[in-house]
Amino acid sequence: MADVLNIKNLKVIFRTGETFVRAVEGVDIRIGEGERVAIVGESGCGKSVTSLACMRLLTTPPAYIAADEFTFTSSDGTVHNLLEKSESEMLALRAEEMAMIFQDPSTFLNPVMTIGEQLDEVFVYHLHMKPKEARRHSIEMMKKVGIPDPEMRAEQYPHELSGGLKQRILIAMATSLSPRLLIADEPTTALDVTIQAQILALISERCEKEKMSLLMITHDLGVVREMADRVYVMYCGKIVEEGTVDEILDHPLHPYTKALIDTVPGVEEKVERFVQIPHNVPHPSNKPQGCYFSNRCAYCTELCKKKQPPLVSKESGRYVRCYYGTEELWEK
Ligand SMILES: Nc1ncnc2c1ncn2[C@@H]1O[C@H](COP(=O)(O)OP(=O)(O)OP(=O)(O)O)[C@@H](O)[C@H]1O
Ligand SMILES: [Mg+2]
């Protein structure tokens, strides 16, 4: 069976006046059937832009998208070239085949429509159901995502629901038509820590039940460990490391991945001080000349400052963009 998503050399450039911002610079990503893939990296490294490009939710101008390959394979085996789809074709694909949930559910719920009306619309619009039948399905979906007293909740407006319940509604909307791919962009960062685990568990359960593939966008390595089979580490618009979740988290090869891991304090460890990666992610219009991580890297050499390292294959499915990317580096 073909990969659900296949992206080769994706580039996204924003143009504002005479300024060009290269937000995504030649990214390769593939997601297999039923696979759970994470993109991890700090703020501003291009995670959201990549996921929005997949959904074709970036408007041109200012965003310009190019790729050597950019295909989505739907449940019936049809291969869709996402770059060539019309907006109406994308409307059908979104929701029915590829759905997305975002960090802040409030912005995606209509404040003047009840929760029930908004869920009903999915079934009326996509499955052409009559209102009563649609409502029955909405209530059923609300039960599936663990909303207590769904009949009562269906009559309420978004402001009457907590953040966690709103995110459950969004998950219900996104997964009600059993899409083949679910993209979740930081779906728990706006929520209380105690609710986060419940929402992650719900996303996992929905993916398993509906046999959906998952693209999880996060800066949180705990979420990666919990939710992903395979991981892409992204920095300054480029993939710097790729591997299985155990390879990436237990045997990182790129100094950036290692630094990300080192900044997470263990629960049982007594934290003397927070470990930080020095400096900030450079703005896309001001990236270093050589390796983009060179100005923050503890292992940087003259070569790193001069020339961008290529993404090289270490072993099957394992890639790293560093001249010195081996575990021996950490001994130095
Ligand atoms: N509409 C836009 N116009 C110009 N630049 C943009 C636009 N949208 C995003 N960018 C730039 O693209 C880069 C990548 O942004 P993106 O939102 O993908 O980061 P991210 O990895 O999702 O970060 P975060 O963790 O903060 O969500 C950023 O430097 C951002 O300033
Ligand atoms: Mg983002």
Instruction: Find out whether the beta carbon of 22 lies less than 6 Å from any atom of ligand 1.
Output: no
- In tens, the pLDDT along 83-112 reads 999 999 999 899 799 999 998 888 899 999
Instruction: Find out whether the beta carbon of 44 lies less than 6 Å from any atom of ligand 1.
Output: yes
State the distance from the centre of ligand 1 to the C-alpha of 175, rounded, in angstroms.
26
Counting ligand 1 atoms within 8 A of each CB, the residue from 16, 48, 188, 285 with the most, and so the one to mutate, is 48
Instruction: Find out whether the beta carbon of 34 lies less than 6 Å from any atom of ligand 1.
Output: no
Atom of ligand 1 nearest to the CA of 186: 27
Q: Over the chain, what HEC string results?
A: CCCCEEEEEEEEEEEECCEEEEEEEEEEEEECCCCEEEEECCCCCCHHHHHHHHCCCCCCCCEEEECCEEEEECCCCCEEECCCCCHHHHHHHHHHCEEEECCCHHHHCCCCCCHHHHHHHHHHHHHCCCHHHHHHHHHHHHHHCCCCCHHHHHCCCHHHCCHHHHHHHHHHHHHCCCCCEEEEECCCCCCCHHHHHHHHHHHHHHHHHHCCEEEEEECCHHHHHHHCCEEEEEECCEEEEEEEHHHHHHCCCCHHHHHHHHCCCCCCCCCCCCCCCCCCCCCHHHCCCCCCCHHHCCCCCHHHHHCCCCCEEEECCEEECCCCCCHHHHHC
Residue closest by Cα to atom 12 of ligand 1 = 23
State the distance from the centre of ligand 2 to the C-alpha of 127, rounded, in angstroms.
32
- In tens, the pLDDT along 148-198 reads 999 999 999 999 999 999 999 999 999 999 999 999 999 999 888 889 999
State the distance from the centre of ligand 2 to the C-alpha of 40, rounded, in angstroms.
10
Locate the domains of the chain by residue range: 5-228, 249-266+273-332
State the distance from the centre of ligand 2 to the C-alpha of 43, rounded, in angstroms.
7
Counting ligand 1 atoms within 8 A of each CB, the residue from 21, 102, 104, 240 with the most, and so the one to mutate, is 21
User: What is the pLDDT at residue 274?
Assistant: 67
Flag whether pLDDT at 147 surpasses 90: yes
**Homologous superfamily of the 5-228 domain (CATH):** P-loop containing nucleotide triphosphate hydrolases (3.40.50.300)
Flag whether pLDDT at 36 surpasses 80: yes
Q: How far is CA 178 from CA 33, 96, 133, in A?
A: 14, 7, 18
User: What is the pLDDT at residue 1?
Assistant: 67
Q: What is the pTM of this model?
A: 0.95
